[in-house]
Amino acid sequence: MTQTQSSETSRSPEFRLVQVALGGLRQELFHDAFAYRPLPRMDVDSGPTRFLPARIRVYAGLLPHAVVAFMAMIVFFIGMERYHGAIGPIGLVASLVPAATVLLTLVRPVLAFWASLGAAPFVGVIAGFVTGWPWSADSFAAHLVVLVVVAARTRPRTAVWMWIGTAGYALFAEVFLRVGGGTDAVPMLFVAALALLTVTVFQVRRQATREVTAQQTVTARERSKRTVLEERTTIARELHDVVAHHMSVVAIQAEAAPYRVENPPPELEQAFLTIRENAVAALTELRRILGVVRAEDYEAPDAPQPTLGDLDALVDNVREAGLDVEKTVTGAVRELPQGVELSAYRIVQEALSNVLRHAPGAAAKVEVSYVLGGLGLRIANGPARGLVKPARHPATTPDGGLRPPPSMGAGHGITGMRERVTMLGGEMTAEATDDGGYEVTAFVPVGRESLSREETAQ
């Protein structure tokens, strides 16, 4: 074991470079050289073919196969031309073999390369061709087509090895198998180098485009997941403050309740004591678990969380930012659970922020509907009309946050609104309108049990 390791480390860098190069040659041109690799159909869902009718698009996927078959037919006619119509069995075979090597690239591309090299001198000898050795005219064209097709179907490194193999074969045929007085080695290597370089450039560019597209897809997916997590974290922070407030109220009321009754029975005192202990324990557990969603620099707001009663102040601030907003309230206004009012306020706030960002100069309408089964919201805006008039001062929200300026946002507002509505068991739609504007509608169910619990807590 030690001797093997020492011999490997004692080898020169040049030897290791040659070893790696020969290993690459073996991997590209010898490993699975007879493997069956049929040419796949072309993707017709992208590029110009996606505009074709459905019936034609089905057959458009066979376009690469048709091109290869067409080139094989051209190679066959090139071989037939030298006989001027007087062709016999030998001439027919000599014309068919180069065309067959082109067709072989459809199923066994690496084998087609070796077959094209091996068949070239035999075709020249059988046809009695003694000039331009070792390639006759049809073999010359067939080998170029084979190089291009195989390079397009394999990796760029294979193109390099095929050119080197062709150069070595040309040198061997020129030195050891020389027939006649001329050679086509230099023209073959020059034209093959240009063709393989062109194919390699397109192949590398196509591979880079695929990798960039895949990376963009992964990035967009990760960005969407991160956005959802951020929105859920924000919602959890806000609901943590709401629930903590109510649990604190329950604990204080349970502690003060026995003092409001003269000579309360011991059972009542014990019941209130149990309620208080459970409320304090639940509050402690809530702060311990939900506290992990707070950022390190997060500070709980000093002011209470906003409700639907603060919508007038929100609308006034948005108007100061240059947005024409009309607010309408329908139904019997009543106090809803604080979580519902907070989420409804945030939905209206985010929707108006999106109007400022994406539709400058548009008029907006905010409709709040108090219905028997819950709360309905509708925020709609018309098409953008250009730049908004500058605000006299930076607009702020009722909870102290700065209103974002009219600019293109990241497009995550809809995600946050949808998360809030889903959390409350409601439904939401967000879609463009026929006049070029945008409309957000949401319905949050509020049952009688929720209202009674809210009133009891207060």
pLDDT tens per residue across span 101-153: 999 999 999 899 999 988 888 887 776 655 566 788 888 899 999 999 999 88
Averaged pLDDT, 385-413? 43
| Model confidence band, residue 230 (pLDDT cutoffs 50, 70, 90) | confident
Residues paired with 327 in a beta bridge: 366
Quickly tell me which residue has 């953008």 as its tokens.
384
Please state the length of the chain.
458
Provide the 3-class DSSP secondary structure of residue 200: helix
pLDDT value of position 90 = 74
399 pLDDT higher than 60? no
- Provide the mean pLDDT of the chain: 76
pLDDT value of position 182 = 60
Alpha-carbon distance of 262 to 265, in angstroms, equals: 9
pLDDT tens per residue across span 36-51: 888 888 877 777 777 7
Provide the 3-class DSSP secondary structure of residue 267: helix
Give the residue from 74, 95, 75 showing the smallest Cα distance to 86.
95
Return the minimum-mean-pLDDT range out of 138-147, 303-312, 420-429.
303-312
DSSP code, position 94: H
- Whether 365 contacts 329, CB under 8 Å: no
Element (H, E) at 347: helix 338-358
Alpha-carbon distance of 179 to 191, in angstroms, equals: 22
- Greater confidence (44 vs 64) lies with 64
Residues paired with 428 in a beta bridge: 442
Tell me the CB-side half-sphere exposure of residue 184, using CA atoms within 13 A.
22
Count Cβ atoms below 10 Å from residue 370 Cβ, excluding itself: 16
Provide the 3-class DSSP secondary structure of residue 394: coil
Structure tokens at 381: 């805006």
Return the minimum-mean-pLDDT range out of 8-22, 245-259, 309-323, 397-411.
397-411
Structure tokens at 442: 């949401």
Structure tokens at 400: 């102290």
Q: Where are the beta strands (DSSP E) in 324-426?
A: 324-331, 363-371, 374-381
